[in-house]
Every structure is written in structure tokens, then in C-alpha cells.
A and B are shown apart, each in its own frame.
Chain A
Amino acid sequence: MNPIRNTALALLALTLAGCNTFYAEAEQPQVCVTLAPQTFTITGSSAAPVAEAAAATTLAGFGAQVDLGLSSWLPDFMTKGSSDSRILHLLSFSVAASGAAGANLDWLQSVQITVQKGTTTPVVLASWTPGSGQTGHVGPLLTSVTVPGSNQDLNLSDFLSSNGTLVTAVTGTVDSARLPAGSTWTGQVGVCFYAKIKKTYAELINGN
């Protein structure tokens, strides 16, 4: 056996083994994004009782697709590539009244955020109804709602599109009788995430 060749092979094997042993990881405990005001379209109305008020209320649905372009806000290595090495959790979701002074969300009856990839079944990330506790009041009026993620074990990396976008939908119901005139309402949506990535040197070298 050629000792030089054996030595070279051993060094190569050691290097390759090392590339799978050595790693780099990054952890972002919290990144919060407040999107530009979103317009939600009222989709219909129906009479339904509201339990707490014990009075008939006219409910109307609303919804809008909100694309969270995470690749715009986080480095590419945290949003692209295999989801096996990445963890992305929703920490919280918020919606706040926007528009004219005094705007509020007192007419809001429920809100939820779901995530979907392609044609898969949407998964609820967070939801809120009056009295569920996670509210942000300014004075007597409800001006914002903040809800912790209800499914914090869900790895949102599995839902990222190839361009690093998370397709979410914000839906809910409003009391159309108290809603200011119009078929739309505008609110400011905020989301907070936890992100962690761990890659071996071999993965970094191969660009995975």
C-alpha cells in the first residue's frame, strides 16, 4: 500500500467528516414586523347572537390575504433552503386600528390568522375573540388586539414558499351595525417571530 496515498485519503476523510461535525447556528429570539396598513373587505353579513352581550348582533365576515415576505426582513440563509435545519415560530400576532384619529376596533368580534402553503389545508396560527384576554386597550376603546401564537410548535419554515414568503390570511367577523360606513376597513397587522437555523459546514459549502 502506498503510505502517501493512504495518508492523503485519511486526511480527505477526516476533512469530510469534519465538515459534517462543524456547524454554524444563529438564533433570533424575536423579530417583529409591522406591515403597512392592510385593507380588509367585508364579505357578507348575518344575524347572530353575541354571547357576552346577550343581544342580537349583525355579524359580517372580513378577510384578506397577507403575504409576509420574510426574505425581505431576514437574511436569505434563514429563509431559504431545506426546512430541516430551520425553525420559525410565530410568537404573536396583532392588529391595530389605523386611519383617522379615534379609530378603534370596538366593532371587532373575532380575528384569526392562518397560514397555508399551496393548496394544503390552512392552519390556524392565532385567534382572538372578545374576552379572550389578549387585548390592548387605550382608554375605553379597543384600539389594538395582540394574540400570542396558539401553535408555537408549528415550524413555519415548512410553509415558506421558494421565494421566502409566508402566505397568511387574516379573517374574522365584525359587528356590522357598529362598523363605520363602508365595505372595507383598514388595520395595521404586526407579527413577531422566533427564528433559529443550524447548518453543518458541509451544508454551507454545498449551499443547502
Chain B
Amino acid sequence: MRILPLLLAGLLAAPSLAAGQSATPGAPAATAPAATAPVQAAAPAPPPVEEKRDPQFGLALTLGVADGAVLSFTWSPLWWMMLDAGFAYTLQPGLVVGLEFRPIDFFVAPIIRGEYGYYFPGRTADQIMKWAGVPEAQWPLVGSASYNWFSGLVGIAIGSRRGFTAALEGGIGLISLNVKGGSSTVNGAQVTTEAWKAQSFFPTARISFLYFF
């Protein structure tokens, strides 16, 4: 755990602290020169121990719902906080940004995460119509669609904060599908639709692999 390096640093620093105390002003002047000279010669102060800074930048690969596949760059300004932004792809290319907290620095650590994603307009609606079995005659009524979502997740990370970690997270999200309208002749009638919107409050999950360098 993170406390171990601090204990080691304390033990290493103990002799130099003792030496410093012996040279404190106010000690008897008559004994000082004779007593301190041999100590200083025998135990020179070790160089100050610097805690090695955790790596700040990483690269992550994520697979999830509604993320799709995401390749993201991670920045960790504090050891317990990470910001990431990445390129994503499901039915269309998109962007995902996230804020993540890992409050415990251990081999197994909990995760609290919030993220936002946006996918550009494109073939999303076509795929959804295929899956939903919408008759082809109605397809022109549904134009290109983009979607975005917010989600909150909790999970667990396994691995080293200073190297490779794998994380599994689950949570809830709100996804919005924004669809352009269209016009078509369907069964002898002229049908025109305005732009419309669909929303879903849904369960979300993701698995990610992160490497700090």
C-alpha cells in the first residue's frame, strides 16, 4: 500500500534527524566540539529521500455498453483521480470523456466513474431499424441519427497504479437518440416526420485495460 514507502522513508531519515538534533543550538558549549566532531565524520547525512512521482499519463482500451470500443488517453493529476478522453466507435465514430476516482491505492481498488459520450450522425438509425424490424418502406421517414449519453459507474480495478490495470465497471446511464425526420410515400399516403428523439434509462457496463507509462 501507499503507506509502506512512507515508513521506509521515515526509517532511512531517522539517523540524520538524530544528527541534526545533536547540533541544536543551546547545547552545552564545552562538550559540543569534542562530542560532535567524531559523529559527523562517522555518519554523513544521507541524501534526502524523494518519493517517486506516480506516472501521470496512460493509454486505455475499453469495451462497453454504450461506449462501444474506445481508445482513450488518460491523465492523472492526482494519484486518486483520472481524466480521460478517447475516440470511440460503435455504429458510428464518437468521443467519450470520463472522470474517475480510485480512492485506494492497492492491487485491488474500487472505482467511481462518470462519463459522457457522443456519437456523430450516421448509420445508427439504419441499424436500429434493421434490428427493430421496421419495414423498409418506412426507412426514409427516419433520417440520420446521433446519440449521446451520461453514465455513472462503480467497479473494481486490479493491477498496479504504476503500470497495468484491468477494470470492470457497471452502472446506470441515460442515453438520447436524436433522429432527423424524413418524407416518403408509404402505402399510397405521403408521410412526413419531424425530427424526433428517443431516450432510455439503461444499465451500463464496461471493461477496460489501462497502462500508465
User: What residues of chain A have their CB less than 8 Å away from a CB belonging to chain B?
Assistant: 18, 21-36, 69, 72-77, 201
Contacts and interface: CB of A to CB of B under 8 A. Distances in A.
A31 B193 contact: yes
B196 A26 contact: yes
Contacts of A23: 200-201
A21 B186 CA distance: 36
B189 A29 contact: no
A25 B196 CA distance: 11
Contact of A18 (B196, B198, B203): B203
Interface string B175-213: 000000000001111111111111111110000000000
A28 B196 contact: yes
A36 B196 contact: no
A72 B201 CA distance: 28
A68 to B, nearest CB: 9
A32 B192 contact: yes
B201 A34 contact: no
Contacts of B196: 26-29
A27 B188 contact: no
Contact of A33 (B191, B194, B197, B199): B191
B contacts with A: majority SS: strand
Contacts of B198: 24-27
B194 A21 contact: no
B203 A33 contact: no
A22 B203 contact: yes
A31 B182 CA distance: 10
Contact of B199 (A25, A34, A35): A25
Contacts of A28: 193-194, 196
A133 B194 CA distance: 25
B201 A22 contact: yes
A131 B198 CA distance: 40
Nearest to B175: A24
B193 A77 contact: no
A33 B186 CA distance: 9
